[in-house]
Amino acid sequence: MGGFVYAPLTPIVGRSDGIGIAAAIEDLVRARVVGEKTELVMPVLYPNGSHVVISVWPNGDRFLVSDDGGAATEADMAGVRPSVFARLAKAEAERVGAVCDTRAFFFLRVDHERLAMAITVLADAARATVAAALETLVAAKRDTLEERLFERLDRTFRGAKVHHHAEVRGASSVEHDVDALVEFDGRRVVFNTFSRNPQSVNALVAKFVDLSQLETPLVRVGVTSDKSRIGYRLQLVSSVGRVIEVDAAAGTYERAAA
Amino acid sequence: MDAVRSLDDLAELLRLPKRVDGTPRWDPQHKVKRGETPPANLRLSLEAPLSVEGVTMEGLRLRAAAPKFEPGRKVAIQLMLLHRGKWRPFTRIDWRGPPHTNRRDPGFEHYMRDVGETHVHRLCDNAFLGWPGVVTSDEDLPNAAPLEDPGDFAALLSLAAGELYVENLTDIGEPPWEASFTLR
């Protein structure tokens, strides 16, 4: 196991007086030299709170900047499949002009002038990729939310037509995919699941706004697992539709559809 | 025990004295072809089923990972539960990995503190996520408590054996590390 002496992290610049804001700024980025590379602990956090660590290696007269596979490790330990991470990482790398190879992000030849920004951009790309990768675990959970919704609808609206995965045209003439459409007594009620993720809320609101502007508007019901976890965005959803919890009683479903 | 249906069930599973089944190996996470230089960030991974009183448990496993070319660094050891088709961690020890800042739970003792490079993501500290949130959330055990650096891999295994209640964890071998600090 030889070759490397494990040393404590230190602030990247010598601490001036060790008090106040100056000291906090000095602590924002900490560094350690490991062989030829310098590791920087960035003030950027992965979803679970781990700091993004970026390594800088001298590369001729330039620098190589990499996350050393740190993002892949974060996603992997959280249970994300390598193929899912690889797909997201490739897209993110392309977006910022980096390379993603063997599960690590790289800027291969960065000049001195752009080094600080390359480090920052790579740290954010690593963070964004892990956030997107973990979101896929929740997206999978949403499928089960959808399954629970179908089960409730099938049980509650026995005499009605319950369509799973329906397409509904909005006022803009855009066709929207909705989780379920229930038709009874000449009424049409759309049920669509959402999570507390802002993108999930935004997608639902956009869909419901368009459906609310039809000449004969549909009843719109947002369905989530726990309303208390949505936070202030619940107001956004409730401004364009009704909201129920997926495990609500049959009576709640009936009232939401009335 | 039966299938895990609550945080209490999961806590009970954690506390049951467990043993690693078989002789798990450290394997590279992706294949390196003969004659090819392995990438500098090549990771080694070890997975093993766990047994309780001689019965191998369904939906439970040990997972450890370490970088091949950075001896004595960035080791993670965790227990994983199979929940609705996905393997998710529910207790993890990180040794000399990235520093960790707790930012999710203001009620947590170590809230808004960097708990350093060696720390433990305990189930009890992440119970605020609820059930099944603790194994379904996109936050991956956001609360971690600091641990004193055990000093070497053998001491890490002793520590992990206690935290994870895996009696023979100290029997797993050291990762086949190679020291290499040059740019590949």
Q: Which residue of A has its CA nearest to B119?
A: A50
Tell if the CB–CB gap between B39 and A102 is shorter than 8 Å: yes
Tell if the CB–CB gap between A49 and B142 is shorter than 8 Å: yes
- Tokens encoding B60: 């439970």
Mutation target for A interface from B31, B140, B174: give the one with most A CBs within 10 A: B140
**Stretch B50-76: mean pLDDT:** 94
CB proximity list for B38: less than 8 A, separation 6 or greater: B28, B32, B68, B69, B184
Of A36, A48, A137, nearest to B183 by CB-CB distance is A36
| Bridge partners for A50 per DSSP | B100
- The whole-number pLDDT of residue A1 equals 46
CB B43 within 8 A of CB B65: yes
In whole angstroms, give the CA distance from residue A183 to residue A218. 10
Q: ipTM score here?
A: 0.89
Residue B184: pLDDT band by 50, 70, 90 thresholds?
very low
Tell me the percentage of chain A whose pLDDT exceeds 70: 93
Scored b (16 or more CB within 10 A) or e, A135-164 reads bbbbeebbebbbeebbebbeebbeebebbe
Scored b (16 or more CB within 10 A) or e, B21-33 reads beebebeebeeee
- The whole-number pLDDT of residue B38 equals 84
Tell if the CB–CB gap between A41 and B65 is shorter than 8 Å: no
B83 touches chain A (CB under 8 A): no
Task: Summarize pLDDT for A20-45 with one digit per residue, the tens.
Answer: 777 788 889 999 998 889 999 999 99
Chain A residues 199-258 within an 8 A CB cutoff of chain B: none
Count of CB atoms situated within 10 Å of the CB of B91: 25
- The whole-number pLDDT of residue A7 equals 78
Task: Summarize pLDDT for B111-141 with one digit per residue, the tens.
Answer: 999 999 999 999 999 999 999 999 988 899 9
Of A30, A74, A141, nearest to B136 by CB-CB distance is A141
Tell if the CB–CB gap between A47 and B41 is shorter than 8 Å: no
Residue B84 pLDDT > 80: no
- The whole-number pLDDT of residue A143 equals 62
pTM of the model: 0.72
> What angle (nearest 5°) sits at the alpha carbon of residue B110, between those of residues B107 and B113?
120
The alpha helices in chain A, defined as continuous H runs, are 20-28, 70-78, 82-96, 115-156, 198-212, 234-238, 250-257
Q: Nearest-CA distance from B25 to chain A in Å?
A: 17
Q: Could you tell me which residue, B22 or A5, shows the higher pLDDT?
A: B22
- The whole-number pLDDT of residue A142 equals 59
Task: Summarize pLDDT for B146-158 with one digit per residue, the tens.
Answer: 999 999 999 999 9
CB A106 within 8 A of CB A99: yes
- Beta strand residue intervals within B96-134, DSSP E: 119-121
In whole angstroms, give the CA distance from residue B140 to residue B100. 12
Q: Which of B50, B67, B69 is nearest to B182 (CA)?
A: B69
Q: Which of B55, B133, B43 is nearest to B88 (CA)?
A: B133
Taking the mean position of all CA atoms in its chain, how far away is CA B131?
Answer: 20
- The whole-number pLDDT of residue A155 equals 86
* DSSP assignment letter at B176: -
Set of chain B residues whose Cβ sits within 8 Å of the Cβ of A82: 29-30
Residue A6: Cβ-neighbour burial (10 angstroms; 0-12, 13-18, 19+): middle
- What is the gyration radius of the CA atoms in chain A, in angstroms? 25
Tell me the percentage of chain B whose pLDDT exceeds 70: 97
- The tens place of each residue's pLDDT in chain A, 258 residues long, gives 445 677 777 765 555 566 677 778 888 999 999 888 999 999 999 999 999 999 999 999 999 999 999 999 999 999 998 888 999 999 999 999 999 987 899 999 999 999 999 999 999 999 999 999 998 888 665 567 888 898 889 889 988 899 988 889 999 888 898 999 999 888 899 999 999 888 899 999 999 999 999 888 789 999 999 898 888 889 999 999 999 999 888 999 999 998
> Amino acid letter at B71?
P
| Percent of residues in chain B assigned helix, strand, coil, to nearest 5 | 20, 30, 50
Task: Summarize pLDDT for A10-26 with one digit per residue, the tens.
Answer: 765 555 566 677 778 88
**Which range is least confidently modeled, A89-93, A194-198, B37-41, B44-48?**
B37-41
Q: Give B97's Cβ-side CA count (13 Å radius).
A: 32
B70 touches chain A (CB under 8 A): yes
- The whole-number pLDDT of residue A17 equals 61
Set of chain A residues whose Cβ sits within 8 Å of the Cβ of B144: 49
CB A137 within 8 A of CB A78: yes
Task: Summarize pLDDT for A106-122 with one digit per residue, the tens.
Answer: 999 999 999 999 999 99
